Amino acid sequence: MKKNNKKFLSGGLGQLTIPLIAIALLFIFNLIRDPGFFSIGISHNNDGNAVLAGNLISIINGASELAVLAMGMTLVTAACGGQDISVGAAAAIAGSVFVKVLKSGSGISGGTVLLAFVAACIVAMLFGTFNGVLVAVFKIQPMIATLILYTCGRSIAYWINGGATPTVSSHIITAIGSFIPGIPIPTPVLIVALVAILFKLLFHFTSLELFTQSVGINGSAARLNGINSTFIKLLSFIILGVCVAVAGTIGVSRLSLINHETLLLDVEMDTILAVAIGGNSLGGGKFKISGSIIGAYVIQMLTTTLYAMKVSSTDVKAYKAIVIVLLVVIGSPVVKQRFGKLLERISSKKKITVKGAEE
Amino acid sequence: MRKLKSLLLVGLLVLSCVLTACGGGKKGGNIKVGVVNNPPSESGYREANVKDMEAVFSAENGYELKTAYSIKNDEQLQAAQGFITEGVDYLLISAAETTGWDEVLKKAKEAGIKVYLFDRMIDVDESLYEAAVVSDMAKEGETAVKWLLDQNLSEYNVIHIQGAMGSDAQIGRTGALDEQFASGKMTKVVQQTATWDEAEAKNIVESVINSGASFNVIYAENDGMAKGAVAALDEHGITHGVDGDVIVMGFDCNKWALRELLAGKWNYDGQCSPFQAQIISDLIKGTKTASSKKIINEEKGFDAKALTQSDIDTYGLGE
Amino acid sequence: MQEEILLQMKGIDKKFPGVLALNGVDFTLRKGEIHALMGENGAGKSTLIKVLTGVYQKDGGEISLEGQNVSIKSPQDAQNKGISTVYQEITLCPNLTVAENMFIGRENGSWIKRKEREKRADEILGGLGIPARSTQQLGDCSLAVQQMVAIARAVDMNCKVLILDEPTSSLDDKEVNMLFDLMRDLKSKGVGIIFVTHFLEQVYEVSDRITVLRNGELVGEYPVEKLPRVELVSKMMGKDLDELSTLGEHEEKKTIVNDVLYEAEGLSSSEAQPFDFSIRRGEVNGFTGLLGSGRSESVRAIFGADKVNGGTVKIKGEQVKVTKPIDAMKHGIGYLAEDRKRDGIIAELSVRENIILALQVMNGMFKPISRSEQEAFADEYIKVLNIKTASRETPVGSLSGGNQQKVILARWLLTHPDYLILDEPTRGIDVGTKLEIQKLVLKLAEEGVSVTFISSEVEEMLRTCSRLIVMRDRRIVGELKGKDLNQTQVMKTIAGGEA
């Protein structure tokens, strides 16, 4: 019994315990509130494709940008022990570049979309490098270093398209942002899966995970074992850059429009929260990408639940804050330790009573 | 990295060159006009506004235009002071803040410079300026709601997507619709702010669709949010526009939005006109006279059925 | 010398969970004396000081100041009672002026006007001959002057007992002399000074009396002229000289004559003075010296752990550049760092991950060792080194110190180094494991691996090394081999000077 309890808290599911419990609670809450909340139906969209619809789909779909960003942010957090708060602004830049390239050609074909995405990636990676150099080389605290891009990023995005909010109309873009004909699952969800698989492959075919964790847990020891921690930190920012480009592209494609002022506005805080809810230490070190993805879904589920309850969207942020504070506090080492002790005490009491019965 | 920085720097330089170049004009017996405005980077609206000023107060029309752009009130004040010292004939101001202008406007008056306000009011005595040409956001709302009532729907189930709460545009455009909700003529399915965020607007509409509630009007307080709402409709197979189940209404008259109207995908777009230059020019040249100090810039509402390409070219903002 | 007793600490006990840090320690400080407090790592020096300054509360014993029993509740309380400390790291504010620093946060909040303050500061500084102006920014002064300002501040606060904790470690010779002049001046004014340092020369230059601690216990108090250096060293290291001479010599180690594997000339780093060093294939040699003598800094320079400033390095006869750890690793050098927690283990990672880390780094990021191989490596070394762990997936931080050390040893053994540097591999681990590690070192040497071994326990080094390099005050002062390899000779060389 005692062993099980411990395992439940520290081993086993380990850091995924809290986010999974959070998801379960939200599920139960919604089922009680409205049994039909999670019903999934098949409807036909305006392009005539059969697609899945329902709150659950909306949640998984809506969390896509957040999930992609959270994956990259997890790596930065693990390596640098700090967070990049410029992801929203950088995504606006990437999205603007994406649209700029799309509109520079005569028509939009698969090739131009690919080219535009590659351009967005390169630009986002460059800005990632900028942040990374400040953090890894100049040893500036990540939040302070990325404050620079956070502040000026959307202005840079403005310059790219000259202040307009250009729209792109192309069935390819619509396919990226909503559904590919013949596939009932929203494309952004597929993209999240793809990015997650890419991360999995990256960790499988390189020892990046080991190195990143080593740098994050004990930078001094990592250095003395020959790890180039500057490079690892820089790399984490560049990888986050790719995630930023992906998120920006999804965001733009959803609406076929780039508004540099509103694209992924305030997403950085949700991203950091997703990482935290996922049980990753914001101080760096050991990490689980899967935790951050679940964290992203927790946040989106919360938002969708609040919308469904017709909570005014001005109030949504406040309610979200309350729930998130609870989650983060419950997930904190202090509470975990206390809770673990409590469980131990309960289980030891039980043992005593059992013993007593035996006697 | 250094390269990137220098690239940015060059970019800045080029931008500032372009801006100052715009400020130049031909010399001669032209009317000297100093314009203190927000920078075109502020919004698509401002961009159109700046372009309109440049077009109307051109040398061809007999003007010499000087411009200063800033989003900071104190910088604007300095610029205005500069124009007074330089000795312009007219000072046109769209202020960043409503306060702090007394001193400068008094000096202008002493120097015999006539002041026109455009787009935004300032908290000063009316005697300090000739006229203020502004938009009436409440009227924009009224025009839109009147159009909606004219559609003679059997019932009005409205999803109302608001702009950033407390902004002039939100307050103005919400007012008229709120009256209808209060009178019971229209039913409020949901009223939520998306704070001008397209993606947020999409979430709001998606949430309504998932809840199964029925609706037949989407009233979004700007074009972007209307587009977000439409994206949600498209994904869930709900038809919209001229022959569709749901009426889509937006504001601001971006060119791309008007094109949606022309294609029949949206029904209505309300203008928020950045075109005050002609009115001011008419007043300066005396071809028109102001009936009051506050001149409401007349704004149109466009119906998809009546819209023409030339309307888009004339009234559309951006590209 | 006045014999009036200023401070008396009697039978001081201090317990920490699992450790008795101070066990009935006595310490007496007289008026107008400079009293050196000596001891190796873990002797209890800093604990005693912290008890005296109210950072820690004692668990037993008495403290009396000028004949009156006192209890010191906090650092502030200690200061009010006239006990001031000047630490190695300056604890003043570099961005305030000298005068501001001298008067900041002083008791009873008496507000002295700025001009007045500056005037008084100048008077005090002048009186003590400290070359600083009251209006200067403290940060603009040299470290020595900053330290002196801190002392001046203490003096002005009517301090009777002045504790100087490693004050000279970042000063040059001239500055040290300036500081010593100031200390002598204060001494003549009746201040009792407790001087904590690891520089033997300085102890003999300036102190009147020496108290030696070892393992939390008092070894004794001696007037400086009655304690020759070599005896001081033996007392600090816990070996009685007489006892040593009667102890049989160790088996004489053969001097190794294989090829030279590693050779450094004039090697220096940000932390280490230039030195020459070489090691032959299959040789075990060691750096010895007191704590702070520069032994760790030297081996760190060999491994490129600190910023290397100069010198030429030859490995297997070829000149190479070793400026960072990965260079050293690529040339077959492994380094087990002195501070296991800070520089060794990655606590939250598993035993397996910790073992394969160095090898993985050498392989490069794009050639990951497969999971099954990792497990095989981990299992192998857990068995070979007898690492006691619940499983190979247990976080290494939850292992005992000795087993953590074995994990790091395993990490380096897995890279099959030609040259292994072990800095204090046996510190803080149980006796059984110590012996295992010593045996392992000898076995490695037999297999042709060169090993540099550092330990605070001379005995341990004598048992393993065929050559000892002795360091004092950051310089190599001798090299012992053959029949010179015995405790007495080591002590003498460490102590230097007259013996």
My answer on whether B117 and B147 are in the same domain is no
In a domain, B282, yes or no: no
d(C-alpha C301, C-alpha C291), whole Å: 17
What is the count of residue pairs from A and C with beta carbons less than 8 Å apart?
72
Tokens 């005593």 belong to residue: A352
Pairing of strands C217-223, C209-214: antiparallel
My answer on whether B111 and B202 are in the same domain is no
What 3-state class would DSSP assign to C214? strand
In a domain, B180, yes or no: yes
d(C-alpha C294, C-alpha C301), whole Å: 11
Q: What are the tens digits of pLDDT across the range B118-142? A: 998 888 899 999 999 998 889 999 9
The residue in chain A having the minimum alpha-carbon distance to the alpha carbon of residue B213 is: A308
Q: Could you tell me the domains of chain C? A: 5-227 (3.40.50.300), 283-293+328-495 (3.40.50.300)
Q: How far is CA A281 from the centre of its chain?
A: 15
pLDDT at position C320 is 95
| C22 burial via Cβ count (<10 Å: 0-12, 13-18, 19+) | buried
B contacts of A247 (beta carbons < 8 Å)? none
pLDDT at position C158 is 82
What is the side-by-side strand order in the sheet with C275-280? C275-280, C260-269, C308-315, C318-320
Question: Residue B8 belongs to what H/E stretch?
Answer: helix B2-23
My answer on whether B123 and B176 are in the same domain is no
Q: Please say if the pLDDT value at position C130 is more than 90.
A: no
What is the side-by-side strand order in the sheet with B247-251? B187-193, B157-162, B217-220, B247-251, B268-270, B301-303
The reply to whether residue C368 touches residue A206, judged by beta carbons under 8 angstroms, is yes
Question: Residue C12 belongs to what H/E stretch?
Answer: strand C5-16
B contacts of A168 (beta carbons < 8 Å)? none
Q: Please say if the pLDDT value at position C434 is more than 50.
A: yes
My answer on whether B96 and B144 are in the same domain is no
My answer on whether B165 and B309 are in the same domain is yes
pLDDT at position C242 is 57
Note down the domain range covering B204. 137-273+303-315
Contact at 8 Å (CB) between C45 and C213?
yes
My answer on whether B32 and B124 are in the same domain is yes
My answer on whether B19 and B35 are in the same domain is yes
Contact at 8 Å (CB) between C453 and C284?
yes
Cite the beta strand spans of C281-364 per DSSP E: 284-288, 308-315, 318-320, 333-336
DSSP conformation class of C343: I
Distance from CA of C293 to the nearest CA of A (A): 22
**Which region among A288-297, A339-348, C78-87, C136-145 has the lowest average model confidence (pLDDT)?**
A339-348
My answer on whether B153 and B216 are in the same domain is yes
d(C-alpha C55, C-alpha C193), whole Å: 19
pLDDT at position B23 is 41
Q: Which CATH number does the domain housing residue B20 bear?
A: 3.40.50.2300
Assign C368 a pLDDT band (cuts: 50, 70, 90).
Answer: very high
**Which region among A176-190, C16-30, C264-278, C366-380 has the lowest average model confidence (pLDDT)?**
C16-30
pLDDT at position B33 is 94
DSSP conformation class of B300: -
Mean pLDDT for B214-218 is: 96
In a domain, B290, yes or no: no
My answer on whether B164 and B85 are in the same domain is no
The reply to whether residue B202 touches residue A159, judged by beta carbons under 8 angstroms, is no
Q: How far is CA A235 from the centre of its chain?
A: 18
CB atoms within 10 A of CB B5: 10
In a domain, B200, yes or no: yes
In a domain, B292, yes or no: no
User: Where a domain ends, among B129, B155, B178?
Assistant: B129
User: Which of C327, C359, C363, C365 should be substituted to probe chain A, the one whose Cβ sees the most A Cβ atoms within 10 Å?
Assistant: C365
pLDDT at position B7 is 54
Ranked by mean pLDDT, which of A249-258, C33-42, C89-98 comes out on top? A249-258
The DSSP result for A106-149, as a single string, is SS--HHHHHHHHHHHHHHHHHHHHHHHIIIIIS---HHHHHHHH
Q: What is the ipTM of this complex?
A: 0.86
In a domain, B101, yes or no: yes
- Indicate the pTM of the whole model: 0.80
In a domain, B217, yes or no: yes
Structure tokens at B171: 């307050």
d(C-alpha B163, C-alpha B197), whole Å: 8
**Which region among C152-161, C237-246, C450-459 has the lowest average model confidence (pLDDT)?**
C237-246
Interface of A with B in 36-65 (CB under 8 A): 36, 43-47, 51, 53-55, 58, 62
To 5 degrees, how large is the angle CA B162–CA B166–CA B169? 60
d(C-alpha B93, C-alpha B105), whole Å: 10
pLDDT at position C486 is 84
Closest CA to B164 of B192, B193, B190, B137: B193
User: Where a domain ends, among B129, B158, B188?
Assistant: B129
Structure tokens at C174: 């001239």
The residue in chain A having the minimum alpha-carbon distance to the alpha carbon of residue C341 is: A221
In chain A, domain spans: 39-329
User: Which of C297, C306, C324, C348 should be substituted to probe chain A, the one whose Cβ sees the most A Cβ atoms within 10 Å?
Assistant: C348
In a domain, B295, yes or no: no
Tally of domains in chain B: 2
φ, ψ dihedrals at B180, nearest 5°:
-65, -40
User: Where a domain ends, among B82, B98, B129?
Assistant: B129
Contact at 8 Å (CB) between B262 and B304?
yes
Q: Please say if the pLDDT value at position C413 is more than 60.
A: yes
Pick the CATH number of A39-329 from 3.10.20, 1.10.287, 1.10.3470, 1.25.10: 1.10.3470
Dihedral of alpha carbons B172, B173, B176, B178, sign: negative
pLDDT at position C494 is 86
My answer on whether B143 and B105 are in the same domain is no
Picking from A51, A62, A314, the nearest residue to B193 by CB comes out as A314
Closest CA to A1 of A338, A355, A359, A358: A355
To 5 degrees, how large is the angle CA B67–CA B71–CA B74? 85
Cite the beta strand spans of C17-137 per DSSP E: 19-30, 34-38, 60-65, 68-70, 83-86
The DSSP result for C140-174, as a single string, is GS-HHHHHHHHHHHHHHTT-SEEEEESTTTT--HH
Q: How far is CA A301 from the centre of its chain?
A: 13
What is the count of residue pairs from A and B with beta carbons less than 8 Å apart?
123
d(C-alpha B159, C-alpha B194), whole Å: 12
- Own/partner pairs for C484-490, CB < 8 Å, 24+ apart? C485/C250, C485/C252, C485/C253, C486/C244, C486/C249, C486/C250, C486/C462, C487/C239, C487/C244, C487/C247, C487/C458, C487/C459, C487/C462, C488/C241, C488/C244, C488/C245, C490/C288, C490/C458, C490/C462
C contacts of A285 (beta carbons < 8 Å)? 348
d(C-alpha A160, C-alpha C347), whole Å: 47
The residue that leads in pLDDT, C338 or A237, is A237
A contacts of C409 (beta carbons < 8 Å)? none
- With touching defined as 3 or more inter-chain CB pairs under 8 Å, the answer for chains B and C is no
CB atoms within 10 A of CB C400: 15
pLDDT at position A36 is 85
The reply to whether residue C348 touches residue A217, judged by beta carbons under 8 angstroms, is yes
Pairing of strands C192-196, C5-16: unpaired
Closest CA to C225 of C207, C201, C241, C198: C207
Mean pLDDT for C220-230 is: 90
User: What percent of chain A clears pLDDT 90, i.e. is strictly above it?
Assistant: 62
The residue that leads in pLDDT, C103 or C5, is C5
Pairing of strands B301-303, B268-270: antiparallel
Q: Please say if the pLDDT value at position B5 is more than 80.
A: no
pLDDT at position B129 is 93
Question: Residue B117 belongs to what H/E stretch?
Answer: strand B114-119
The reply to whether residue A308 touches residue B192, judged by beta carbons under 8 angstroms, is no
B contacts of A162 (beta carbons < 8 Å)? 47
Q: Please say if the pLDDT value at position A6 is more than 50.
A: no
The residue in chain C having the minimum alpha-carbon distance to the alpha carbon of residue A213 is: C349
Assign A8 a pLDDT band (cuts: 50, 70, 90).
Answer: very low
